[in-house]
Amino acid sequence: MTTALNRYLATAVAAKCPSDQIINFRLGQYCAQPKQLRFHAAARLADTEGGPTQVGYGGARGGAKSHGLFAQLVLDDCQRAPGIKALYLRKVGKQAREQFEDLRGKVLHSTEHAYKQHLGVVKFPNGSQLFIGHFKNESDVDAYLGLEYEVIAIEEATTLTAMKYQALRDSNRTSRDDFRPRIYTSTNPGGVGHAWYKRRYIDPWQDGKETDTRFIFATVEDNAFLDEDYRRKLEENTGWRLRAYRYGDWDIAAGQYFTTWRRDVHVIEPFDAPLDWTWWASMDYGFVHPTVVHLFARDGDGMTYIVDEHYQAGWLVKRQAEAIRAMLSRNDIHYGRLERFVTGADIFAKRGNSETSIAQQYEQHGLKLEPANMDRINGAGQMLDLLGDVSAGQAPRVKVFNRCGRLIECIPVMEHDPYRPEDVMKIDTDEEGLGGDDAYDCARYGLMELDNLVKRQARVY
């Protein structure tokens, strides 16, 4: 027993859990697993000035997320900060009440508390309160908005949109000076909030650039209390469900179109591509929607690189043109070096009472654009073909520099159009400018130019 305890304490210290937190868990007779300890340590980082105020815990199913979030709230936060108000939000299921009773029994069995089931409140002797919130539809969350909670925990966060999450963030505040407000989330890949959650939590974690967020990744392997049967059930899934539920792969979406996309395969560090390679660019124009430009290069062995990206909404043509030139310049590419610069055909038409088209306005600022091949179905097929399939031994023929953040975010969440399954479903950006398919459309225009470029080079030689 002493050896096991010492090993546990050593793991907790290695995870950087503070001593009083470890004591709180011991008093509650809660023995956290290694990934849970890392989550608990990240939660305590929120106490420090400049530390994170958003801590996520997720990945595959079965990673002991619910147990960890609930323990952090009731055994640590509510015990060390008398009079705290905490909100614990759960997506309701058919047995929501039974599920919570089971969780309460496992975590609070040795901690004095009073559970007012009809009010959905857990009260502690020191005056701290935990409010149990349930939501079936996203609109149910409105009942908790406008109130003040020092700490909020959200289960299945990707079932909420970015707007609703932000509304809850607005309720995460306090007038006291001894506890810094923070929010905890747990979830699996997929759902209506997949894109914003990935952008807010996952991308900074994967890129090693976390500031206000921390993310703890966990899979079924991180939960020693699950039996082999559960793991086998997860492995019975196929396609995106297997990647999401079993392996916690965030580069997926339900109905995902580009199922062979792999961040670890297709995304690479930038390098100085030789200027004697073939260079071209593509644009997807927008004003309310973003204008996206991608710069492409192709080496002599048939590998295409998406080298750089410009992405901006709400700018007039003159300002966009200056930014595009700046993007070319930072890659030592003069506009005249481009084989082609293609864009959607809609900008070649004059609009309203305007005497010039958008394309003509760009030409006035030194950027001559040509119509792109806008065939959506063949364009999607072209991208699929170039991505290859490493699991089947088919090497990719396109790589993306990691500076193309919007495209890297966009490709894995593109879905099949339910009315035209061979096509990619159109999606718009949300109210905060997140999501959308603009970066995909731009890349598709550029990749569809490959055949023309190859034919042109063949004629030259």
Minimal CA–CA distance to 181: which of 151, 211, 146, 144?
Answer: 151
Q: Is the same domain home to 286 and 229?
A: no
Q: Is the same domain home to 156 and 27?
A: yes
Q: Is residue 47 part of a domain?
A: yes
Q: Is the same domain home to 226 and 285?
A: no
Number of domains in the chain: 2
Q: Is residue 330 part of a domain?
A: yes
Q: Is the same domain home to 139 and 285?
A: no
Q: What is the CATH number of the domain that holds 32?
A: 3.40.50.300
Minimal CA–CA distance to 407: which of 290, 326, 319?
Answer: 290
Q: Is residue 251 part of a domain?
A: no
On the 0-12 / 13-18 / 19+ scale of CB atoms within 10 A, 353 is exposed
Q: Is the same domain home to 179 and 324?
A: no
250: its two tokens = 């965030």
Q: What is the CATH number of the domain that holds 379?
A: 3.30.420.280
- Whether this prediction's pTM lies above 0.75 is answered by no
Q: Is the same domain home to 12 and 131?
A: yes
Q: Is the same domain home to 384 and 450?
A: yes
Task: Identify the pLDDT of residue 436.
Answer: 85
Report the distance separating Cα 392 and Cα 236, nearest Å: 20
Q: Is the same domain home to 225 and 284?
A: no
Q: Is residue 30 part of a domain?
A: yes
The answer to whether 25 touches 76, Cβ cutoff 8 Å, is yes
Minimal CA–CA distance to 312: which of 302, 303, 322, 304?
Answer: 322
Task: Identify the pLDDT of residue 253.
Answer: 62
Q: Is residue 288 part of a domain?
A: yes
Q: Is the same domain home to 267 and 231?
A: no
Q: What string of H, E and C letters represents the secondary structure of the chain? A: CHHHHHHHHHHHHHCCCCHHHHHHHHHCCCCCCHHHHHHHHHHHHCCCCCCCCEEEEEECCCCCHHHHHHHHHHHHHHHHCCCCEEEEEEECCCCHHHHHHHHHHHHCCCCCCEEECCCCEEECCCCCEEEEEEECCHHHHHHHCCCCECEEEEECHHHCCHHHHHHHHHCECCCCCCCCCEEEEEECCCCCCHHHHHHHHHHHHHHCCCCCEEEEEECHHHCCCCCHHHHHHHCCCCHHHHHHHHCCCCCCCCCECCCCCCHHHHEECCCCCCCCCEEEEEEECCCCCCEEEEEEEECCCCCEEEEEEEEECCCCHHHHHHHHHHHHHCCCCCHHHCCCEEECHHHHCCCCCCCCCHHHHHHHCCCCCEECCCCHHHHHHHHHHHHCEHHHCECCCEEEECCCHHHHHHHHHCEEECCEEEEECCCCECCCCCECCHHHHHHHHHHCCHHHHHHHHHHHC
Report the distance separating Cα 155 and Cα 90, nearest Å: 5
Q: Is the same domain home to 89 and 159?
A: yes
Give the structural domain span for 282.
263-460
Q: Is the same domain home to 206 and 311?
A: no
Q: Is residue 441 part of a domain?
A: yes
What are the 10-residue block averages of pLDDT along the chain, 461 residues in total?
Answer: 82 93 94 94 95 94 90 96 94 64 90 90 96 84 90 91 88 93 92 83 94 95 86 83 84 78 94 95 94 96 97 95 96 93 92 85 95 94 95 94 92 82 82 79 96 70 46
Residue 256, phi then psi, degrees to nearest 5: -55, 135
Q: Is residue 269 part of a domain?
A: yes
Q: Is the same domain home to 287 and 204?
A: no
